[in-house]
Amino acid sequence: MEEKIVTGIYIRVSTEDQAKDGYSISAQRDKLTKYAEANDWDIYDYYVDDGISGKNLDGRPEVIRMLNDVKNKKINNILIYKLDRLTRSVKDLITLIDLFEKHKCTFNSQTEKIDTSNAVGRMFVKIIGIFAEFERENLAERVSLGYEQKTREGNYTNTNGVYGYDYIKGEQRLVVNEYEKELVNRIFDAYIDGYSYFKICKMLNEENVPTKRGGHWSSSTVKSIVNNPLYLGKVRYGVSKKIRDKAFIQDSENVEPIVSQEKWEKANSLVERRKHFCVRRYPSENSYYFHIIKCAKCGGNISARQQNQNGKLYITYKCNNATRGFCECTGFSHNHMENAFLEYLETLESLPPDESILEKENEKNHAEKTIDDLEKKIAKFESKKKLIRTQFINDLLSIDEYRVLSEELDKEIESLQMIIEDNEMIVEDCSSEYIFDDIKNIVTNIKLNWQFLTNKERQQFLEQFVDNIKVEKLSNSEIRIDSVEFMR
């Protein structure tokens, strides 16, 4: 059932408007009432601000009452005579349109032909959005400059706090958390002793040590601690990519150091040295099950690792949650995964090509053409409706004549829409059946030809036709495919 359009009509005049341009309250009320009736909109109420400037929204009680009715779902459409009747401030207009959109309330201006329920109106909103984005960018730039200046003065600006310190909001400063301080030093010591970020995070997770926000540790969290000069009593600016070109580190009298200068420098010199021992990158098509396979035990994603030993490439897969200590699934080789997948393919039903596919495709094409033709007819009827609406507004048609013509056009449109719905069902049925049969035939061919495909072709097949493969490790060498979900 189509939702009723319940309209609030807003009218405003300032003292100087009363005598010019037909902006009087009665003139606006008459024109807007006619416009609402022509569109079959229910009028909920009139909101009239008499003798009040449109410079801003403050001090306009009827605007406030109207906005409260929008928020309380009493009205879902706003109608005004002209945009400047509502506001002359771009900033206020952006705020109002955001509010209307949030509460699913359309917005219409009679003289400017703004109607956010259609494409032209939505284009207007996008133009307004450009102004909003410009305003937000200016604000972001001003905030960024403020943060930069505060950092140069030695203040820590991240109010979320950081591990090792507690942020005192009222005083806008950091104080050392003694328990976390010990753990920060332990992380630095472990890194200096040769532990990787990953081994440190695994150790902390196994000990059930929570992060600052009560979550699990990750390699990136550990890395952010080892790299952070805050633990030396220094604040930094320019961590994010957007402002990295402006990055700097500033000594601070407001932050108490947690680690010694010697320890921090030793750890970070190791960071620089270890950067040279990067893992060699291999083409992703070699590990073509990556991104497709998931752990059957916990549902987590599975990562791939590639190593080259004595000129031979070894590929292994492992559950990410197992890597972090939250799943019992151990790693398995690409070869074992390959054997398990081939065994699974053998269990699938081999279907001969379905001769009805071409018939279904022809039926689908005919239905799509019918829909296209009917939509063009509906567009013509909609144009006629707009024409008679304009004639009625300009007093060229009486209300009775307008209603008779409008009802006839609505019946024609409704009839065509019913036919369109029938044809849309045909398209949907044909599409789903065609895709299902097509995939089954492809799978049948894949079973016969998998061994002749290149790794790249296997990767393309999996990414195009397989949604996910759930894998379970049963023993040191045995892999079981729990399920394979094909794209539908």
Residue of 14, 89, 144, 219 with catalytic role? 14
Among candidate residues 9, 8, 12, the one with its CA nearest the CA of residue 70: 8
Rg of the chain (C-alpha set): 34
Helices and strands in the chain, H and E counts: 14, 15
Q: Give the Cα separation of 213 and 183 in Å (integer).
A: 15
The question of whether 109 is a catalytic residue gets the answer: no
Distance CA 433, CA 360 (A): 8
Cα separation, 45 vs 48, in Å, equals 10
DSSP state of 301: B
Paired with 174 in beta bridges are 167
Reported as half-sphere exposure (CB side, CA atoms, 13 A), residue 315 has a value of 18
Nearest to 364 by CA among 419, 424, 437, 441: 424
Task: Give bridge partners of residue 8 from the DSSP assignment.
Answer: 45, 78
Q: Would you state the torsion angle of the CA atoms of residues 319, 323, 324, 327, taken in this order, to the nearest 10 degrees?
A: 50
Beta strands in 96-251 (DSSP E): 106-109, 114-115, 165-168, 173-176, 234-237, 248-251
Phi-psi sector, 330: left (phi>0), alpha (psi -120 to 50), beta = beta
Compute CA distances 381 → 111, 251, 357, 412, whole Å: 23, 72, 36, 8
86: its two tokens: 């509502």
Where in the sequence numbering do the catalytic residues fall? 14
